[in-house]
Chain A
């Protein structure tokens, strides 16, 4: 199919050969699982189990909260050891609410787990509801709840479903392997998603460095004429959602918008696989495929791991380290995050564990910018990274925002190409975080002000009500008095009847709350 050009990008050495030849294998049952309550973008799930409770595989552990959230399920059968906190799968290593589960070794599915005979007979809403219930999130790393994306059809005119099998991050091969080995299941999941979205146009986009996956998916999709396979040039960041859509449709997603604005919804093959499992078998998302690789790993592998498995368990299964790694990364080398320790658990969005050697990271002391423009040419978003970095460096964050900081997708192409080894993305992340914090502070200020104003208004309303009540009473009194006076007059006229005394009226305004 016709592809369109995108600007910028880089060609990192993809190093996929390390793990691409390894078939997906299941990791042996770990001794303990640490399942964080938040493995998605949105509100954290709230625990639905107690300590000591026995659970079966697939039982609900924590319930999603609100519109953008996802539930968490038991990855295997066993006993809840605690509902507490545990270091997160995140660079900060901060502790987050986590459920600890001790597997009983039986790996027994709960009785209520049941698939649907024919997902295509379901209403689209029902499909989305089941996907939501299964806790499926975007598994390419974004971890946005998948059901929310399936429901976008309600608000946007969606015409195309794109499956992002670009896997443009170097090293990672989990989607590649999944598409090669489980092509039929992935295609089934894709068709179910298309049904939920009500689209007739489906594009499965795979980079040319994965010819086997392209072939397998083409075969699996052969009898569905709606599905087309797009063979993408190998280039980073081809898998950036907005750039992928541009490559396929020639259209740019409007700034600050969603691809849905131009009628496209993008999902990942692993998400499609999870949807297939959720609909056909009723399985919630409790495991995923992870690539464990890098020059420092003794035996790089693609593993199917239960969520909550410690990184250390994965490393052990891969024979540990060949040499001491320079960096331990979660995700790909371009946009991944350093892992704070090997104790942290695997989560829904973790697609890779990389142990990189010194040669691979090729880190150097940063030098001053020589204005070579490599970053400008590399940026897929048309930004001028050197200037954004210069403004950030001197604390002029508004200046950086004016240059397009908020349009930066943190893809790292600029920093990858910089001969000065300037940590450009670090600057941008800092600036974005700082701006977000300022935004929050401002919002908080506004909120405080709003609350104060509301209180004043409430007080005012109460006073007003009291004043009115008082006035009313006065009026009534006056009317009564008048009536009585008339009565009295009448009585007097009738001869010497007893009079009424006025009761004093208490000032209502003194009784303030």
Chain B
């Protein structure tokens, strides 16, 4: 049959049971344990901030869609805005005022996502854009961390008190505490040796479980790891980015630690501290802003890992996941341009494969 192109619907007429809302939903499900842990550990203010951030993200998304003249419902229902707000909230100091979350969401949704053309079009990870912008603009609010004050524990602020923390102007100096990364960094800066610093702030158990000061959703390495493995199992993400990124950090940390154990912390410390796990499983793996080929993902993740280590160790900030991911996001188009799978029946240069022994018999 001389088949002309069917303008009609083409196959396939079966579809894997996947959809964008499902993808986003599963990521949120994977984030849930670490999130709940964060809320329990940091109390009501953390919950308020979490809710405020996500609400702001939803509102910003709806408003942008309306302005752009796109249908609001289907796009809002895809879950991407909620996820962006969620991820942003995870990276904020848990007792930050509500407007930090709100401004962050606005930046993430409007500036980092919708201005680029909406879902799928953004070059940079919206949550990380917002985090970095906030960090630069509001350094004080973004670096005021609290020691864990679990819900219903003796000293934890109550419902109303917490409202004052999140929505008021009340400070919370009584509870303030530095993150492990920040503390170690400061102490190292003052010329102390690691053997003197580490024992008092870093325990291998507390670091893994997450009963330390830190961003709302970043402290529990174990729960994040569990969530990440769940995502790999569900095939939402593949192992390539998280394993490569963590592997790169671990290798660098090991090498430097071996060279000078008094000034360079070991791999375990780097893996469980700060945003390493959240970054490796949930941020760097962001589908939109990471390369689409496996090899590209490996290159991308190795770059992320390298930058994270370099920033943490030698640059001006104690934590570098957000910067690292953004820098590598900028490389994604380049990576995708140069790293492509080999086309079936062609060699790497795109020429048809030739086999010496199967020459055509001349007719």
The prevalent SS among residues of B at the interface is: loop
Question: How far apart are A250's CB and chain B's nearest CB, in angstroms?
Answer: 11
Tell me if A257 and B341 are in contact (CB < 8 A). Answer: no
Contacts of B361 in A (CB 8 A): 154-157
A429–B293 Cα gap in the complex (Å)? Answer: 24
A441 in contact (CB, < 8 A): no
Let me know if A112 is at the binding interface, CB within 8 A. Answer: no
Residue B173 at the A interface, CB < 8 A?
Answer: no
Per-position binary interface string of chain A over residues 248-274, scored 1 when its CB falls under 8 Å from any chain B CB and 0 otherwise: 000111111100011100000000000
Given A92-B4, A373-B293: A407 and B346 within 8 A (CB)? yes
Structural contact, B1 and A38, CB atoms closer than 8 A: yes
Q: In the complex, what residues of B have CB within 8 A of residue A421's CB?
A: 15, 19
A356 surroundings in chain B (CB, below 8 A): 13-14
Band of interface residues on B: 35 or more
Q: How far is the CB of A333 from chain B (nearest CB, A)?
A: 4
A425 in complex: contacting residue of B7, B12, B355, CB < 8 Å: B12
Q: Find chain A residues with CB under 8 A from B143 CB.
A: none
Q: Roughly how many angstroms separate A12 CA and B11 CA in the complex, as a whole number?
A: 14
State in angstroms the CA–CA spacing of A18 and B341 once bound together: 37
Rounded to whole angstroms, the CA-CA distance of A434 and B346 in the bound complex is 24
In the bound complex, residues from chain B placing their C-beta under 8 Å from that of A243 are: 344
Q: Does B139 contact A (CB under 8 A)?
A: no
Interface residues of A in 364-387 (CB under 8 A from B): 364-365, 367-374, 376-377, 379-384, 386-387
Give the docked Cα–Cα distance between A12 and B18 (Å). Answer: 12
Q: Give Cα A12–Cα B5 distance, bound, in whole angstroms.
A: 25
Dominant secondary structure of chain A at its interface with chain B = loop
For B10, the closest partner residue in chain A by CB is A426
A92 to B6, CA, bound (A): 7
Which of these, A252, A337, A415, contacts B345 with CB under 8 Å?
A252
B205 to chain A, nearest CB (A): 36
- The residues of B that contact A155 with a CB separation of less than 8 Å are 360-361, 363
A255-B344, A263-B358, A383-B343 given as contacts; is B20 within 8 A of A419 (CB)?
yes
Contact present for A384 and B78 (CB under 8 Å): no
A65 to chain B, nearest CB (A): 13
Closest Cβ neighbor of B340 among chain A residues: A384
**What string of 1s and 0s marks CB contacts (under 8 Å) between A7-49 and chain B?**
1001011000000000000000000000000111100000000
- Cα A91 to Cα B1 with chains together (Å): 12
Least distance between A92 CB and chain B CB atoms (Å): 7
Interface segment among B116-124, B162-170, B305-313: the answer is: B116-124
Minimum C-beta distance from B166 to chain A (A):
32
Check A417 for interface membership: any CB of B closer than 8 A. Answer: yes
Residues of A within 8 A of B (CB): 7, 10, 12-13, 38-41, 88, 90-92, 143, 154-157, 170, 242-243, 251-257, 261-263, 327, 329, 333-338, 349, 354, 356, 360-365, 367-374, 376-377, 379-384, 386-387, 404, 407, 410, 412, 415-421, 423, 425-426, 429-430, 432-434, 436
The 10 closest A-B pairs by CB, nearest first: A433-B5, A373-B292, A412-B12, A255-B345, A382-B341, A254-B352, A362-B15, A333-B14, A255-B352, A426-B10
CB pairs A–B below 8 angstroms (24 shown): A12-B16, A38-B1, A38-B2, A254-B352, A255-B346, A255-B353, A262-B358, A263-B358, A329-B11, A329-B13, A365-B74, A370-B80, A370-B119, A371-B289, A372-B23, A372-B292, A376-B292, A376-B293, A410-B10, A412-B10, A419-B18, A429-B6, A429-B10, A432-B5
**15 further interface pairs, Cβ-Cβ under 8 Å (given A251-B355, A368-B118, A407-B344):** A157-B361, A254-B355, A257-B345, A261-B360, A336-B11, A349-B1, A363-B15, A367-B20, A370-B20, A370-B120, A420-B19, A420-B120, A425-B10, A429-B10, A434-B5
